[in-house]
């Protein structure tokens, strides 16, 4: 016999961004509970709206599965004498409640013991649920929780009702003073009455009361309605997926309205209009042939009427009017003249103003640009000089919802003034990538300034003592350097990190720079290692590469990828690594001297030296051209000669001169391998 389990937690409105993670952890908690209690079931379905989290688990068994527990008793030679059970065996069987003749003999760690097989007690599923539901609900994950009543129960929002049914049977328990029952609630505004629920008709019953609990169904309906509304004015909606998900989680039943705004606002930059609609109002813009139309689509949590449409239009118009005021006022001061105004804005109390930072960005950008081929250094210099100018504008400084347009707004003002597009793109794109999902700068010049911006942020923050910890990174330094790595690798920038850090600290006038440099370098090494592992590089290969060269992260990435490819021939790779580990072990702690070729006596050492010398020039040529897989295959050719030396020649001979010379030979050979990576760091599985 099986039943369907339904649990619904009804609440006040939970933030949209909490819901998916919460209901997933809710389901995980239940499945973990049922697994641990040996309760069989089939699939688990999750449902959620702003006012409820629910799970339905099908085909749940009425009780735990039977299980036999083996209990070890006395040693067999004590339990039986001459084949007959002793009092020890009888007492053991009696104590465990099993027949004497059911005892078995099994071996444990070489010794024989008697064993009783005992069937564990079976609990009913309803009892298990009553005893554990509170703990499962308590462990639902939310970014933040609140206390709102006398039991001090923590949850995202106050709990207002609970439905807990195992088939037709009520699971009686309570949370935060709320008792479980059979009653759910309909849509708060349209159908606020009580609904008696059964697991078999949960979804349909709520739909009849204007609650669509299935997220996929709610999103599909909403998307269709948005498309239809936009089509009424001959346009197509702009539907960012993140916005559609957020809006879907703000409503219990999909309704949409179409609103309009004055065409004069279309003279504003498109991104300003989109931001006014999307970031605060969560409206969907409408386009035709790639151009914005003076309409918007909004999802509402009530039956649409003229007042709702009018209210939404007025709110948007007020925001667009603010944006138009900022736009027109800001243009009265040129973007070039705004650079000097940066001197009045403190970037960091210990590090000076935004103008100080701009001067550093110009110098750092020029330094990087000189080391990157095929870039226009005049564009880099001017783009860096103007990169932070829009931070003085009303649009960014006072616009609240427009602050995330920094860079973009500066580029728009620069375009208005007729600046070259390549410079405008530097101003706009030097902030990219803003996060892991964001695209990279579109030009090399913008990429160069982006690198300078990120390394200056990191160095400045460390020098001022704002250093990330395991749990805190308020300035986003890790994300900033992750973007740095993406740019270097994608654009194939060949830049020395050590030199860049040295250059980056030159312009700061602050105490304790030497100690902070060490911390900056360690931070960079850690981020590069994390990056390599994030793209599928084994931890030991990452260590092998970085122990020989973290300074050039493009090179480190290319070598790591080459070694992962090289490793595919596992047998050959393993033998090569073992050989290098033997070399490393024998050299450990030894003082190295120059090798003398005339002291090579044995054929095997002569041959190893000859083969190593023969490949040295070509090896360095491959490394210079960043052909690291070819370099590794060249080194692979030394393996049989290294093995032959160890098999046939006594390196640690008593003859001191020969011993030192053989160690010097191995040191020379290891040096060739170290041009690529430290093979001793590799772990053989």
Condensed to tens digits (0 to 9), the pLDDT of residues 390-412 reads 999 999 988 677 888 999 999 99
- Taking phi first (over 0 means left), then psi (-120 to 50 degrees means alpha), and beta for anything else, what does residue 418 get? left
Q: What whole-number percentage of the chain has pLDDT above 90? A: 73
Nearest to 496 by CA among 456, 440, 533, 549: 549
The confidence band for 349, taking pLDDT boundaries of 50, 70 and 90, is confident
What are the distances in angstroms from CA 65 to CA 33, 41, 130, 246? 14, 11, 18, 42
Residue identified by tokens 């910890």 is 469
Domain residue spans in the chain?
2-64+124-208, 68-119, 215-330, 338-530, 569-681
Contacts of residue 294, Cβ cutoff 8 Å, sequence gap at least 6: 260, 261, 262, 263, 265, 266
**β partners of residue 115:** 72, 104
> What pLDDT does 93 receive?
84
The answer to whether the CB of 674 falls within 8 A of the CB of 620 is no
Greater pLDDT, 279 or 177: 177
Tokens encoding 248 = 């879907």
Task: Report helix angle 628-636 to 603-624, nearest 10.
Answer: 180
Buried b (16+ CB within 10 A) or exposed e, 623-651: beeeebbbbbebbeebbebbbbbbeebeb
Model pLDDT for residues 299-341, shown as the tens digit of each residue:
999 999 999 999 999 999 999 999 999 999 999 999 999 999 9
Nearest to 634 by CA among 646, 648, 621: 621
The confidence band for 228, taking pLDDT boundaries of 50, 70 and 90, is very high
What are the distances in angstroms from CA 27 to CA 20, 82, 136, 273? 11, 57, 9, 40
Nearest to 93 by CA among 113, 117, 77: 117
The confidence band for 26, taking pLDDT boundaries of 50, 70 and 90, is very high
Q: What angle do CA 403, 278, 427 make, to 5 degrees?
A: 40
Rounded CA-CA distance 587/576 in Å is 17
**β partners of residue 164:** 7
Rounded CA-CA distance 542/535 in Å is 11
Q: Is the pLDDT of residue 460 over 80?
A: yes
> What pLDDT does 665 receive?
92
Q: What is the mean pLDDT of the chain?
A: 92
Rounded CA-CA distance 608/598 in Å is 14
The confidence band for 620, taking pLDDT boundaries of 50, 70 and 90, is very high
Rounded CA-CA distance 262/254 in Å is 27
Task: Report helix angle 421-429 to 408-416, nearest 10.
Answer: 160
What are the distances in angstroms from CA 567 to CA 352, 538, 540, 576, 679? 50, 10, 12, 10, 12
| DSSP, res 333 | S
Rounded CA-CA distance 162/410 in Å is 52
> What pLDDT does 185 receive?
96
Most confidently modeled range among 77-81, 113-117, 318-322, 576-580? 318-322
**What is the distance between the terminal CA atoms of the chain, rounded to a whole angstrom?**
48
The answer to whether the CB of 573 falls within 8 A of the CB of 565 is no
Rounded CA-CA distance 57/164 in Å is 12
> What pLDDT does 399 receive?
66
For domain 338-530, the CATH architecture is: Orthogonal Bundle (1.10)
The answer to whether the CB of 650 falls within 8 A of the CB of 536 is no
Model pLDDT for residues 103-162, shown as the tens digit of each residue:
888 888 878 888 888 877 788 999 999 999 999 999 999 999 999 888 889 999 999 999
CA 128, 129, 131, 137 dihedral sign is positive
| DSSP, res 124 | B
Tokens encoding 492 = 């194939």
For domain 569-681, the CATH architecture is: Orthogonal Bundle (1.10)
Buried b (16+ CB within 10 A) or exposed e, 495-509: bebeebbebbbebbe
Contacts of residue 531, Cβ cutoff 8 Å, sequence gap at least 6: 482, 485, 553, 557
The confidence band for 450, taking pLDDT boundaries of 50, 70 and 90, is very high
**β partners of residue 124:** 63
How many whole angstroms from its chain centre is CA 644?
48
HSE of 247, CA atoms in CB hemisphere, 13 A: 29
Greater pLDDT, 178 or 68: 178
> What pLDDT does 220 receive?
97
Question: What is 438-481 written as a DSSP string?
Answer: SPPPSSHHHHHHHHHHHHHHHHHHHHTT----SS--TT-HHHHH
Q: Is the pLDDT of residue 186 over 80?
A: yes
Tokens encoding 578 = 């073992």
The answer to whether the CB of 129 falls within 8 A of the CB of 166 is yes
What are the distances in angstroms from CA 625 to CA 374, 411, 469, 678? 18, 38, 39, 20
Nearest to 197 by CA among 175, 224, 222, 166: 166
The confidence band for 512, taking pLDDT boundaries of 50, 70 and 90, is low
**β partners of residue 255:** 300
Intrachain domains 2-64+124-208 and 569-681 with the same fold: no
* Rounded mean pLDDT, 353-381: 96
Rounded CA-CA distance 398/388 in Å is 15
587: burial class by Cβ within 10 Å (0-12, 13-18, 19+)?
middle
Q: Which of 317-321, 335-339, 497-501, 585-589 has the lowest mean pLDDT?
A: 585-589
The confidence band for 511, taking pLDDT boundaries of 50, 70 and 90, is low
Alpha helix (H) residue ranges in 210-285: 215-231, 241-248, 270-275
Residue identified by tokens 């004498």 is 81
- How long, in residues, is the chain? 685
* Rounded mean pLDDT, 610-624: 94
Contacts of residue 153, Cβ cutoff 8 Å, sequence gap at least 6: 138, 147, 159, 175, 176
Give the H or E element holding residue 329: helix 306-330
> What pLDDT does 189 receive?
93
Contacts of residue 83, Cβ cutoff 8 Å, sequence gap at least 6: none
**β partners of residue 108:** 111
SS3 track for 142-154: CCCCEECCCCCCE
3-state secondary structure of 516: helix
The answer to whether the CB of 631 falls within 8 A of the CB of 576 is no
The answer to whether the CB of 192 falls within 8 A of the CB of 160 is no
| DSSP, res 342 | G
CA 301, 307, 313, 319 dihedral sign is negative
**β partners of residue 291:** 288
Alpha helix (H) residue ranges in 375-420: 377-386, 394-397, 408-416
Q: Which CATH number fits domain 2-64+124-208: 3.30.750, 3.30.1490, 3.40.50, 3.30.70?
A: 3.30.70
Q: Is the pLDDT of residue 78 over 90?
A: no
* Rounded mean pLDDT, 174-199: 94
Rounded CA-CA distance 33/645 in Å is 61
Q: Which of 114-123, 181-190, 262-271, 560-569 has the lowest mean pLDDT?
A: 114-123
């Amino acid at each position: 016999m099986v039943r369907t389990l339904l649990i619904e937690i009804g609440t006040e409105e939970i933030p949209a961004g909490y819901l998916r993670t919460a209901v997933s952890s809710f389901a995980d908690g239940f499945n973990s509970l049922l697994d641990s209690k040996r309760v069989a079931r089939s699939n688990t379905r999750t449902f959620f709206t702003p006012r409820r989290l629910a799970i339905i688990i099908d085909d749940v068994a009425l009780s735990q599965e039977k299980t036999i527990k083996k209990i070890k008793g006395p040693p067999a030679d004590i339990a039986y004498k001459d084949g007959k059970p002793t009092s020890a065996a009888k007492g053991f069987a009696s104590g465990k409640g099993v027949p004497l003749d059911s005892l078995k003999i099994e071996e444990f760690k070489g010794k024989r013991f008697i064993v009783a097989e005992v069937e564990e007690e079976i609990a009913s599923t309803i009892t298990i649920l009553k005893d554990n539901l509170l703990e499962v609900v308590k462990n639902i994950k939310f970014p933040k929780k609140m206390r709102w009543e006398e039991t001090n129960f923590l949850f995202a929002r106050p709990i207002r009702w609970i439905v807990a049914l195992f088939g037709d049977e009520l699971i009686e328990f309570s949370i935060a003073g709320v008792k479980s029952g059979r009653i759910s609630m309909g849509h708060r505004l349209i159908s606020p009455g009580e609904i008696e629920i059964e697991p078999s008709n949960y979804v349909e019953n709520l739909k009849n009361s204007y609650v669509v609990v299935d997220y996929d169904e709610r999103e599909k309906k909403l998307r269709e309605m948005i498309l239809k509304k936009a089509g009424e004015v001959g346009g197509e909606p702009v539907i960012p997926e993140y916005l559609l998900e957020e809006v879907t989680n703000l409503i219990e039943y999909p309704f949409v309205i179409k609103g309009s705004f004055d065409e004069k606002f279309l003279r504003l930059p498109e991104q300003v209009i989109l931001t006014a609609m999307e970031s605060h109002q969560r409206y969907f813009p409408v386009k035709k042939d790639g151009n914005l139309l003076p309409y918007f689509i909004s999802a509402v949590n009530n039956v649409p009427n003229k007042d709702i449409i009018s209210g939404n239009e007025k709110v948007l118009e007020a925001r667009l009017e603010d944006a138009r005021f900022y736009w027109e006022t800001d243009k009265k001061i040129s973007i070039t003249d705004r650079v000097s105004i940066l001197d009045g804005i403190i970037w960091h109390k210990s590090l000076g103003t935004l103008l100080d930072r701009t001067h550093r960005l110009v110098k750092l950008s020029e330094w990087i640009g000189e080391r990157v081929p095929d870039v226009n250094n005049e564009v880099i210099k001017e783009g860096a000089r103007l990169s932070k100018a829009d931070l003085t504008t009303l649009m960014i400084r006072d616009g609240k919802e427009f602050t995330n347009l920094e860079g973009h707004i500066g580029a728009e003002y620069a375009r208005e003034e007729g600046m070259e597009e390549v410079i405008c793109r530097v101003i706009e794109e030097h902030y990219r990538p803003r996060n892991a999902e964001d695209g990279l700068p579109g030009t090399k010049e913008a990429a160069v300034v982006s690198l300078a911006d990120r390394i200056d942020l990191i160095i400045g923050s460390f020098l001022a003592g704002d250093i990330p910890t395991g749990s805190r990174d308020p300035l986003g330094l890790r994300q900033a350097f992750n973007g740095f790595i993406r740019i270097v690798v994608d654009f194939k920038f060949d830049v020395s990190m050590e030199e860049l850090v040295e250059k980056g600290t030159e312009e700061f006038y602050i105490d304790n720079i030497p100690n902070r440099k060490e911390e900056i370098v360690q931070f960079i090494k850690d981020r590069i290692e994390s990056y390599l592992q994030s793209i599928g590089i084994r931890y030991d290969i990452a260590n092998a590469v970085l122990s020989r060269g973290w300074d050039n992260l493009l090179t480190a990435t290319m070598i790591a990828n080459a070694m992962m490819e090289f490793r595919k021939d596992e047998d050959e790779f393993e033998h090569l690594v073992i050989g290098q580990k033997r070399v490393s072990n024998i050299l450990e702690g030894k003082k190295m001297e120059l090798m003398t070729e005339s002291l090579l006596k044995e054929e095997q050492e002569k041959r190893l030296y000859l083969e190593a010398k023969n490949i040295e020039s070509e090896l360095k040529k491959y490394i210079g051209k960043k052909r690291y897989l070819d370099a590794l295959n060249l080194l692979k050719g030394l393996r049989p000669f290294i093995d032959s030396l160890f098999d046939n020649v006594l390196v640690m001979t008593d003859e001191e001169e020969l011993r030192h010379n053989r160690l010097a030979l191995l040191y020379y050979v290891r040096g060739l391998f170290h041009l690529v990576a430290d093979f001793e760091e590799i772990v053989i599985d």
